[in-house]
Amino acid sequence: MTETLKLAGRDLFWPPADELTEAAERIRARLGDWPPTHVNWRICLTAPDDVNGGDLIVFTDLKQSSEQHLEQIARWMTQGAGVIEAAAGRAVLHLGGVRYQLEGHLAEDWIAALAAFLDCGFDPHDALVLALAWRDGDETKSDDAWPCDISRFPRVAGLPDAPAQAFAACPDALGIYAVLPTAEWVERVASFGVKTLQLRRKTAEPDELKREIARSIAAGREHDACVFINDHWQAAIDAGAYGVHLGQEDVHTADLHALSQAGVRLGLSTHGYYEMLTALHFRPSYIALGAVFPTTTKVMPTAPQGLARLARYVKLLEGVVPLVAIGGISGDVLPQVLATGVKSAAVVRAITEAADPASAAQALQKAFLQQKV
């Protein structure tokens, strides 16, 4: 048993289910040490009389689609509870006003596995992904039974069609990836020899934005560097950019087909397993994994992932798609980040707020070289 494993003393299932608790403990004992979960979720096999914000109410009969049933789900959600409908290779989680749809394998022990992954601190939508990647008996095959075979993972349903062809490839090892606020910074850092850069210009008038993008792209060509444009995908296409970086919400609004046809590389942000699967659906050029550490450069939708999760993500996706670690990464922690096996790390303040940006960039690049030795 791990030191953080305290399932038996908790109200883990409703109604109480000794066999499920025993199975959850057995699985949890093979998943390694994780910080204590911030929410003691209770998995309800029947609807409790008093629903609370830590309840996940499970239905295994998806035929219940009456208007009354849907109204009941809506009421539970307003009380902070979540609802999982699962049957016939499909699981739908309703939580926080969001509907998470997955298609994949439902093992006999999937509910016990769900409880175990929740205890590892994963949010319900990511814990559900892992539960569908679980196979009965996995806990008997290895001291570390964490799912790491991408072919076993479910797929996200209900997504827009992906472009007919995958996005253009970019280097598997992008190295130091400098995320910069202006074209002037892109020009400076490109001159330091950094080969992967991103212009993240959040506010600018249309004409000024065009000039900033054009300058950034020109700097990339001059210094043989890969320059990505954050968010402004249409302007990036018009200017002939090497690549574009988008957030999860942008895949529903950006014209990904136009980006693909233009040969523009695509990077997508992710903050956990569910978003990784969403990103993989669109076959991007790379996936960003974060935020690894707390960051002040933007408001993050999730808590910091940490190095242990990053290592799991890299093990799952290495060789599948290029990966970029992002979020709060400084020169002090970069060696620990690289020790997870990730081949690229995005930095912001580590360069732009350094007393000597050129020396800071050189030191960051040196860390990558040392990692290869």
pLDDT band at 252 (very low <50, low <70, confident <90, very high): very high
Say which CATH topology domain 175-372 has: TIM Barrel (3.20.20)
Mean pLDDT for the stretch of residues 151-157: 98
- Is 261 annotated as belonging to a binding site? no
Strand pairing report for 155-156 and 175-180: unpaired
Is 159 marked within a binding site? Answer: no
| Beta bridge pairs of residue 101 | 92
Domain boundaries, the chain: 13-156, 175-372
User: Which segments of the chain does DSSP mark as H helices, in order?
Assistant: 18-28, 67-78, 110-119, 124-133, 183-191, 206-222, 233-239, 256-261, 273-281, 306-317, 334-338, 349-352, 357-372
User: Tokens at residue 260, please?
Assistant: 């693909």
**Whole-angstrom Cα distance, residue 221 to residue 268?**
23
Answer yes or no: is 182 a known binding residue. Answer: no
Strand order in the sheet with 155-156: 13-14, 42-44, 55-59, 82-87, 90-95, 98-103, 155-156
Q: Is 298 annotated as a binding residue?
A: yes
pTM of the model: 0.95
Residue whose C-alpha is closest to residue 243's, from 270, 216, 279 = 216
Does the annotation place 328 within a ligand binding site?
A: yes
Pull the structure tokens for residue 294. Answer: 């707390």
269 annotated as belonging to a binding site for a ligand: yes
Q: State the pLDDT confidence band at 4, using cuts at 50, 70 and 90.
A: very low
Q: Is 295 annotated as a binding residue?
A: yes
Cα gap 108→137, rounded to integer Å: 10
Q: Is 201 annotated as a binding residue?
A: yes
- Tens digit of pLDDT for each residue in 161-214? 999 999 999 999 999 999 999 999 999 999 999 999 999 998 889 999 999 999
pLDDT in tens, 22-76: 999 999 999 999 987 888 899 999 989 889 889 999 998 766 556 777 888 888 9
